[in-house]
Amino acid sequence: MGAFRSRNYRNYWAGFLTSIIGWQIQAVALGWLVLERTHSPLYLGLVSMSQAVATISLSLLGGVIADRVDRRRLLIFTQLGAFLCSFAIASLVFFDVVQLWHLLLIAFLFGSLQAFDQPSRQALIPHLVERPQLMNAIALGSAVWQSSRIIGPTVAGLLLAFVGTAACFYVTSVGFLVMVAALSSLRLGGQATAASRGGMLGDLKEGLGYIRGNRLFLLLIGMTFFNSLFGMSYVILMPVFAKDVLGVGSQGLGYLLSASGIGALTGTIIVSTLGGVRRKGLLVGVAAAVFGLLLIAFSQSPWFWLSLPLLGLMGAASSLYMITINTVLQAAVPDQLRGRVMGVYSLTWSLMPLGGMQSGTIANFFGAPLAVTIGGSLVVLMALWALAFQPRLRTV
């Protein structure tokens, strides 16, 4: 593949894969740990909200910083910080002294690091490959996320069942160190910065003004925000479905999340073959509506064997429209604004834990199936509204 011809990108991709697999393992283990200690979906939402509040508060600043400093060094800093957080949780669990406030605090620190990590990653990619290879590099990066959703949860489920929770966090911490080594191996020239005369506040205003003046960007980012807040928050409640709804335990949780990852990877492969499709906006709207409908069906499934394929189809539908949106944005945004624009885009993923808070609250009083049904219904309504009343989407 084109991007792999670059030594810098090969090293970055290998470290990125290891780091993200570890991150997926940690996400499963953290959810299971919270539910095991509290027996309440509400606390799952609280931990998610703690992480989301930090990321949402700092992501815009993270985008500004990503356009002003050496992005490689900034990423090394965030990965070292993530290593320390994971190692701290692992040690607290290993010595059996972990408390809920520990998890809330460390989740907040993780969220703070992600606010600087995510826009820096997006802004670094163009410096790793030649311009003609950029789209291929973005696709390969998406494949890392999707494949890690298969490997990470499966490994997490096995570690939880046979080794213990602490092992999950220790493995994750090693993954972050591998990413540090990969970033340290990169050989990059000088990176242009784009600080305005107005300082950091001026830079932020410039980035927000660019998005505000581009109606297509506003629509696509808005759809992604909505999906992350009401659609993807089902992931936060997956431990509840595995333990209380389907009764399949920690191993079953790993299989459920892996099924979603398999579907997402399949969707990524499908998207890679649709480069010549002219009506990409129509694809975005239809895939979003299908995802919402599948989400409703999953929420009402009482059977493990039915939930697995539904999650697979959900993952494929989500990939179809999320990767298409990402591709359109990455191809259109100017390099000098990339960190700030992608910092705003990164907020979309930050809303997923915040959505987990509202879903966890509903689940705590009315059950997880109803919480996910409401989220799926809202996603369908948003997609239908965009298709019906936003002609700019249909013509992308």
Instruction: Give the CA radius of gyration of the chain.
Output: 20
Query: What's the token pair of residue 297?
Result: 């069906």
Establish if 315 belongs to a structural domain: yes
pLDDT (tens digit per residue) in 288-331: 899 999 999 999 998 998 999 999 999 888 888 887 787 777 76
Domain count, the chain: 1
Give the pLDDT band (50/70/90) at residue 287: confident
Establish if 14 belongs to a structural domain: yes
Share of the chain above pLDDT 90, in %: 25
- Positive or negative, the CA dihedral 243, 248, 250, 252 is negative
What's the pLDDT score for residue 395? 66
pLDDT (tens digit per residue) in 201-227: 777 777 777 777 777 777 888 888 888
351 vs 255 pLDDT, higher one: 255
Establish if 128 belongs to a structural domain: yes
Establish if 34 belongs to a structural domain: yes
pLDDT (tens digit per residue) in 146-199: 778 778 888 888 899 899 899 999 999 999 999 999 999 998 765 545 555 556
CATH (domain of 141): 1.20.1250.20
Q: Report the candidate in 336, 125, 341 with the shortest Cα–Cα distance to residue 214.
A: 341
Establish if 30 belongs to a structural domain: yes
Give the pLDDT band (50/70/90) at residue 285: confident
What's the pLDDT score for residue 170? 96
Q: Report the candidate in 300, 320, 323, 322 with the shortest Cα–Cα distance to residue 310.
A: 300
pLDDT (tens digit per residue) in 35-54: 888 887 778 778 877 887 88
**Lowest mean pLDDT segment, chosen from 110-114, 363-367, 389-393:** 389-393
333: which DSSP letter? S
313 vs 121 pLDDT, higher one: 313
Query: What's the token pair of residue 354?
Result: 């915040």
Establish if 190 belongs to a structural domain: no
85 vs 187 pLDDT, higher one: 85
9 vs 354 pLDDT, higher one: 9
Structural domain harbouring 217: 2-185+195-394
Residues 256 and 310: their CA atoms lie apart, in Å, by: 10
Residues 120 and 351: their CA atoms lie apart, in Å, by: 18
Share of the chain above pLDDT 70, in %: 90
DSSP code string of 207-258: HHHHHHT-HHHHHHHHHHHHHHHHTGGGGGGHHHIIIIIS--HHHHHHHHHH
**Which range has highest mean pLDDT (46-60, 340-354, 370-384)?**
370-384
Mean per-residue pLDDT, 234-248? 84
What's the pLDDT score for residue 353? 63
pTM summary value: 0.72
